[in-house]
Amino acid sequence: MVEKVRIREELLKYLLELARSFYPNEFAGFLREKDGIFEEVLIAPAGHFGRTSVFFNAWMLPLDESVRGTVHSHPDSVCLPSRQDLWFFSKFGGVHLILCYPFTPSDVKAFLSSGETVEIEIVP
């Protein structure tokens, strides 16, 4: 079982900037892992980025075994997964980051597919 997720500081800053730039809409992406550390994001391919949801065609995703998690923003300050989030998590496995308004490092939470929280370690 995953006890904590490790993410590059540079990637975390970039994700927070994405969340701010998409605000007041949500954004979603897929996290690539290298040597146990999330290092890159793939933005969800052409879809709808709305105030309360993101829709995209999962068939448009590349086959990429380095994708080990997802990330999406909540344009409100509720940093807990919704029922829809838990459904989405169950389809993609791995670790899932939620970035909540106002999009600072303390507004980022990590979850397993079950909705259980996971500690985040920021790696320089």
Is position 120 within any domain? Answer: no
The residue range of the domain holding 30 is: 17-46+65-72+83-105
Most confident of 38-42, 64-68, 86-90, 104-108: 104-108
pLDDT at 50 over 60: no
Is position 96 within any domain? Answer: yes
**Taking all residues of the chain, what is their mean pLDDT, rounded to a whole number?**
86
Query: Which of 59, 64, 48 has its CA nearest to residue 72?
Result: 48
Cis omega before residue 24 (within 30°)? Answer: yes
Rounded to whole angstroms, how far apart are CA atoms 92 and 77? 24
Question: Counting beta carbons within 10 angstroms of the beta carbon of residue 96, is it exposed (0 to 12), middle (13 to 18) or buried (19 or more)?
Answer: buried
Is position 53 within any domain? Answer: no
pTM: 0.87
Cα end-to-end span (Å), the chain: 24
Query: Which of 75, 76, 87 has its CA nearest to residue 96?
Result: 87
DSSP label of 76: S
Is position 89 within any domain? Answer: yes
Rounded to whole angstroms, how far apart are CA atoms 46 and 6? 28
Is position 29 within any domain? Answer: yes
Query: Which tokens is 44 given?
Result: 């969800």
pLDDT of 87 reads 85
Domain count, the chain: 1
What is the band of 44 on the pLDDT scale with cuts at 50, 70, 90? low
Q: Are strands 4-8 and 117-123 parallel, antiparallel or unpaired?
A: parallel
CATH code: domain of residue 41: 3.40.140.10
What confidence tens digit (pLDDT) does each residue in 70-96 have? 899 999 999 999 998 898 888 777 899
Is position 94 within any domain? Answer: yes
Is position 77 within any domain? Answer: no
Query: Which tokens is 19 given?
Result: 């969340």
